[in-house]
Amino acid sequence: MMADLWPLHAQTPTPDGATLAILGGSLAAAAVLGACYVRGLRRLWAHPQGRRTQRRRPLAAVTGVLVVLVVTAPPLGEMLEERLSTHMAQHLVLIMVAAPLFAWAAPGLPLLAGMPRGVRRLLVRTRRRLPTSALLTPHLAWTLQITVLWAWHLPVAFDAAVHSEVLHLTEHAAFLVTAWLFWWHLTTLGRHRLRGPVAVLYLVAAVPPGAALGAMLTFPSHPLYPLQAAHAAASGINPLLDQRIGGLVMWIPLDFAYLFVAVLMLATWLRSMEARWPEPPDERGLAERPAVPGMAGR
């Protein structure tokens, strides 16, 4: 089996000119967006209210960018992609670390404020014409994240991404964007934010699909991804064992993270309810309280 898989590994192409052009364009676009973000922050921080509302969020945005670069760029990115287990860990970091950081950072307003006036007006007009109320729904965000997570882990799509650097970048971008939208509904300051039991149900509903995906990778009797198995075999790793470890990585930490955040959000909601509606005072304590001087005969 190893001998059959090795030719697939040998045929894996190196980045060509088109791939390098896409990478260069992506880096240039990221640099432009970063410049707009910094410019927008400076404009917002020119007002005291803007400084208060944006104090910690830029740090989350910078941290999210660093996390993405660390787990996807060489040398660590290439090392993580050699084995399925570490490849699953890479996907997990994008979904459960980088995406929540970007969602909490709320970079939309600074980006818009930092863009040229003509571009800003065009984006505002486009947004008004789009049915944003229908697009920005938790049901759609949940469906998109689960669909993208499963679709890219199907054997055909996964090995295609391993074979093509362009598809690989598309895969990571799809994970990041859909997870960003998923977490946005839990971190936004607007009216779309989910709170209390609704937020808990939203998170808990994401557990079964992740568990099913982990089980799909853990229990088969043969490797599901030939190209990824070839990478593991070239490193001297048992491909089936590597796949089962990857399934457990996708299964246990992902579901535990969802449940942990759900418990935190439920506890936060209960504390807010307690602060809003404190317990009524004890009637016995009111009866035994000494009378106010001068009020006894009234």
| pLDDT band at residue 27 under the 50/70/90 scheme | confident
Tell me: the pLDDT tens digits for 37-87?
A: 888 888 887 876 666 556 678 889 889 999 999 999 888 988 888 889 999
Residue 169: CB atoms within 10 A of its CB come to 16
Q: What pLDDT does 215 receive?
A: 95
Q: List the alpha helices (DSSP H) in 137-190.
A: 138-152, 155-163, 165-187
Tell me: the pLDDT tens digits for 198-249?
A: 999 999 999 999 999 999 999 999 999 998 888 888 888 899 999 999 999 9
Distance from the first to the final alpha carbon of the chain = 98
Residue in 193, 199, 189 with CA at minimum distance from that of residue 106? 189
Contact 103, 193 (CB under 8 A): no
* Cis-peptide, bond into residue 116, ω within 30° of zero: no
Tokens of 90: 């890479």
Q: What pLDDT does 276 receive?
A: 73
